[in-house]
Structure 1
Amino acid sequence: MALIEYRFDNLRHDRIGSRGIDLQSLDRRSMEQAIAELRALASQKDITFPRLPEAPVEPIIARAAADRKDFSDLLVIGIGGSSLGARALLSSCTPGNPGCRVHVLENVDAHEFERIWSGLDPERTCVNVISKSGGTVETMANFLTVRQRLLDRFGVQGVRDRVRVTTDPESGILRAFAQEEGLVTLDVPPGVGGRFSVLSAVGLYPLAMAGLDVEALLAGAAAARDAALAPEAESNPAICFAAHQVALHDAGTRGLVFMPYATRLFDTALWFVQLWAESLGKVRRHADGHTENVGPTPIAALGANDQHSQLQLFMEGPADKCVLLLDVEERRDLRVPAVPAVLAGLQHLEGQSLDDIRAAELRGVRAALTEAGRPNATLSLKDTGARSMGALLMFLQCATGLAGSLLGVSSYDQPGVELAKRFAHGLLGHSDHAHLRAAADRAGQGKALTSVH
């Protein structure tokens, strides 16, 4: 089969009724314009996310190969786009070569920090701090704490030997710090934003340290990118996916449930939530001057687990969600043994493989959603090898960029998150944002509260 197949019959209004869309009414001109915008992004002189499969990767592979000889563990310090992509691939792909154990420190949480740190041997641990600018509060607070512990134990040279800095190649305070400290650096292309950066050094260095085949990953990504740049809309899976979701959104569907039927793909769902939400949750500005808040809300779910949790909401709650089921065609031959006679009603499970049961669960949910008139579509993966996963992540990134064009917003900025950052800086004493402290304090005060004692 193909690396990825996108099946969307259950979005059609003639299949599911009024909550579906008329595929013939999709605006082909807008779809072709969105493809043209993505092609323009891919043809820029500077490296952008569609061009990452062709960016030089040899220095990253060489750096990781050298570091794997000296270290047994890698501690990645980053958050959001600096960590979620690597986590998704580390969870889903089986390393092709012996590699390091990779640990990811994301949140500013002292309990989690000590839990991870206590499981490491600092002598055998490499540290990779990832921040394009160096101004990410959570990442830099964690890094500075780790750096101090390394300084206390190994001194300045010991820090130089153990720390790798992934940041902007020219600007930013983390680049300046790395140069001053004499630290090894890896570059994030200036034209690549965090949530689109997994196929740059941001993701590739940790993945190579883990022993994953990053060249196969990039080959799969290139295949998906080429398919997304195809000018014929009807045969372009990424623009079809984007156009379907935008049409559903404009018709009142407000949520997109990303529901893989494989536990190893749940971190991919979390990666997708950031990609979709931060890219598409925007203010759309119309030609007549009025504005509109747009963006389908992504929801992470896991099959079959969430058949015993969120599925009730998806079936009988507000009819404002589309469910995207993610299937994996690869099967393992692990079968249910003989079923004791006392377990009445379960004899039909005898001899069934666990993966066939999983597949039946997905097909059952798909049928139930369709019967209930709830929009649903299916992405089928050949397997979760590096090539297929590279294709999946690039497919979803391209679809997100295309959806932004169709919605009339930029998929590549995030103005809505900046105010919260400035408030936090003000509360922590940053002089440039001190004037925001009073407003932040007011937001946490008031008489409307109740308590349990």
Structure 2
Amino acid sequence: MIQLHLEKVRKWFTEEHEKRLAPLAEFAYGELQNRDRDAFGKGWMSWPVDHHESLYADIDKIASDFRAKSNVTVVIGIGGSYLGARSVLSMVQPEFTREGKHEVIFAGQQLSPTYHAHLLKYLDSREVTLVVVSKSGTTLEPSAVFHTFRDYLEKRYGEAEASARICAITDAQKGSLRAYADEKKYATLPIPDDIGGRYSVLSAVGLLPMALAGVDYRKVMQGAANMRDQLAKVAITANPAVQYALARHVLYQQGFVAEALVTYEPRVADFAGWWQQLFGESQGKDGIGLYPTMLQYTTDLHSMGQYVQDSRKVLVETVLDAFIDDAPELKVPVGLDEKNRYLENVSFHKLQEVAVESVMIAHSEAGVPNIRIEARGDAESLYGELVYFFEVACAFGGYLLGINAFDQPGVEAYKSEMRARLQK
């Protein structure tokens, strides 16, 4: 269940703003719903309710085969090819209780020689399978890492057995990785033509890592389907994803330049990384857009709290108040010293709840707008709900800004420079 709370932002986002923006909101929502507009990027909109039984069967087969062959799968990808998968595994899997579970490790999301060399050494004592995720197969970082790890597998297992331990998630018909995978006879799964990388976590890009890790990905998909149905049944004025997008749009117009997604649960921190790419790559173009960043409270209150409270007021905080109730109740014991006695027998859930409320009050009264998104439920369903909620808000917000939320022309600049230098 997701609920939007705008009480701590009403000083800046009033009912008058909503009335004035109503015609623009109607236009933007119509553009979002028009599947002929920007059709190349809108496949995610109906994806949670489309028929995927054939895809699920392929995913289950590959996951079962890889789990039988190995105890570690390395997933190679960057950007949308790994952020979503990493975030769902972090959010759904409890910390410290993964003994005996199939290990999923991410690589190719950077070019650190130390990280990848140490990972290869770590793999020497384990049975290994490999998943490479790339729509084109030409993205520099995952390409370099994939072929390094492919070579490792071929030297260790022989070429035929290595091929049986590799799956490529790529374009269904074209691209260098598709051609290479077909030549090597790898298992393959498709990336849909009409779903861009940052919107792709509910496709095979995220579903295979979920299946490998033992996550019930069908519950994730059902959560996304439930959110789709919920948003479709309400008017724009009652649509929480639309209202969130409108609030951040008005704040941007008033001179706020950055938005921090604030999390209180460590398990949700990686989700903020997925959110950052979603909004940064979708709306950061044409010289406009809020700068998306992340803060993990209460930890960062002891490093960034002073800045947020007392610095120049350029920051919006969106508090993702997520609670996943899968742990026993934990309370502070009795018998504390006098100055700490007020903590006796207080549950950690209560401590967290008070922290969220207190920080929002302090920061909003200091001039920092605070949007709160309350998220409650079981981890798998809640993850799916959150993904679909933010995808709608992001795409709708793009139409409010008058930009295309489905392309990323600026990403190519550094890649072209690197290729030119390496090809000299």
Aligned to 1:87: 86
Q: 1:300 to 1:261 in 2, by over 3 A?
A: same
Aligned to 2:259: 256
Aligned to 2:316: 322
What are the within-5 Å matches in structure 2 for residues 200-239 of structure 1? 200-230=203-233, 232-239=235-242
Matching of residue 155 in structure 1 with residue 158 in structure 2: yes
Aligned to 2:397: 403
Matching of residue 345 in structure 1 with residue 343 in structure 2: no
Partners of 2:73 and 2:129 within 8 A in 1: yes
Q: 1:309 to 1:12 in 2, by over 3 A?
A: same
Partners of 2:245 and 2:394 within 8 A in 1: yes
Aligned to 2:45: 50
Partners of 1:32 and 1:231 within 8 A in 2: no
| Unaligned stretches of 5+ residues in structure 2 | none
What are the within-5 Å matches in structure 2 for residues 234-245 of structure 1? 234-245=237-248
The amino acid of 1:39's aligned partner reads Q
Cα distance, 1:398 vs structure 2: 1.1
The amino acid of 1:91's aligned partner reads S
Cα distance, 1:117 vs structure 2: 2.3
2:356 pairs, out of 357, 362, 365, with: 362
In structure 1, how many angstroms separate the alpha carbons of the residues matched to 2:114 and 2:23?
A: 53
Cα distance, 1:55 vs structure 2: 4.6
Partners of 1:47 and 1:55 within 8 A in 2: no
Q: 1:121 to 1:359 in 2, by over 3 A?
A: farther
Aligned to 2:102: 100
The amino acid of 2:46's aligned partner reads R
Deviations 1:246-266 (A, max 9, x none): 111111111111011101111
Deviations 1:40-96 (A, max 9, x none): 239969971112212514222332233222221110001111010011111110389
Matching of residue 8 in structure 1 with residue 2 in structure 2: no
Q: 1:70 to 1:308 in 2, by over 3 A?
A: same
Partners of 1:224 and 1:395 within 8 A in 2: yes
Q: 1:303 to 1:30 in 2, by over 3 A?
A: same
Partners of 1:36 and 1:231 within 8 A in 2: no
Give the CA RMSD over aligned residues: 2.1
Identity %, equivalent residues: 31
In structure 1, how many angstroms separate the alpha carbons of the residues matched to 2:114 and 2:206?
A: 25
1:37 pairs, out of 31, 42, 64, with: 31
TM-score (structure 2 length as normaliser): 0.92
In structure 1, how many angstroms separate the alpha carbons of the residues matched to 2:335 and 2:316?
A: 37
Matching of residue 419 in structure 1 with residue 421 in structure 2: no
Partners of 2:41 and 2:195 within 8 A in 1: no
Aligned to 2:67: 68
In structure 2, how many angstroms separate the alpha carbons of the residues matched to 1:68 and 1:154?
A: 17
Secondary structure at 2:411 match in 1: helix
Moved more, 218-227 or 273-282: 218-227
Partners of 1:195 and 1:275 within 8 A in 2: yes
Partners of 2:41 and 2:406 within 8 A in 1: no
Deviations 1:99-158 (A, max 9, x none): 511100121111111222222257621100000100110001000100111111212102
In structure 2, how many angstroms separate the alpha carbons of the residues matched to 1:5 and 1:47?
A: 25
In structure 1, how many angstroms separate the alpha carbons of the residues matched to 2:296 and 2:126?
A: 38
Cα distance, 1:179 vs structure 2: 0.8
Aligned to 1:288: none
Cα distance, 1:226 vs structure 2: 2.8
Q: 1:215 to 1:269 in 2, by over 3 A?
A: same
Matching of residue 276 in structure 1 with residue 282 in structure 2: no
Q: 1:245 to 1:418 in 2, by over 3 A?
A: same
What are the within-5 Å matches in structure 2 for residues 112-151 of structure 1? 112-121=115-124, 124-151=127-154
- Count residues in correspondence: 411
In structure 2, how many angstroms separate the alpha carbons of the residues matched to 1:159 and 1:47?
A: 36
Moved more, 97-106 or 397-406: 97-106
Q: 1:42 to 1:230 in 2, by over 3 A?
A: farther
Cα distance, 1:235 vs structure 2: 1.3
The amino acid of 2:316's aligned partner reads C
In structure 1, how many angstroms separate the alpha carbons of the residues matched to 2:296 and 2:335?
A: 27
2:332 pairs, out of 332, 336, 357, with: 336
In structure 2, how many angstroms separate the alpha carbons of the residues matched to 1:231 and 1:336?
A: 42
In structure 1, how many angstroms separate the alpha carbons of the residues matched to 2:180 and 2:415?
A: 22
Aligned to 1:451: none
In structure 2, how many angstroms separate the alpha carbons of the residues matched to 1:85 and 1:42?
A: 26
The amino acid of 2:32's aligned partner reads L
In structure 2, how many angstroms separate the alpha carbons of the residues matched to 1:215 and 1:119?
A: 32
In structure 1, how many angstroms separate the alpha carbons of the residues matched to 2:273 and 2:90?
A: 12
Aligned to 2:305: 311
Deviations 1:225-248 (A, max 9, x none): 233445611111111111111111
Deviations 1:155-181 (A, max 9, x none): 210221110000010111100111111
In structure 2, how many angstroms separate the alpha carbons of the residues matched to 1:137 and 1:268?
A: 24
Q: 1:227 to 1:340 in 2, by over 3 A?
A: closer
Moved more, 21-30 or 295-304: 21-30
Partners of 2:336 and 2:344 within 8 A in 1: no
In structure 2, how many angstroms separate the alpha carbons of the residues matched to 1:52 and 1:205?
A: 16
Cα distance, 1:300 vs structure 2: 0.5
Partners of 2:40 and 2:194 within 8 A in 1: no
1:166 pairs, out of 160, 169, 186, with: 169
Secondary structure at 2:34 match in 1: helix
In structure 1, how many angstroms separate the alpha carbons of the residues matched to 2:382 and 2:315?
A: 27
| Unaligned stretches of 5+ residues in structure 1 | 14-19, 284-292, 435-453
The amino acid of 1:308's aligned partner reads H
Deviations 1:434-453 (A, max 9, x none): 6xxxxxxxxxxxxxxxxxxx
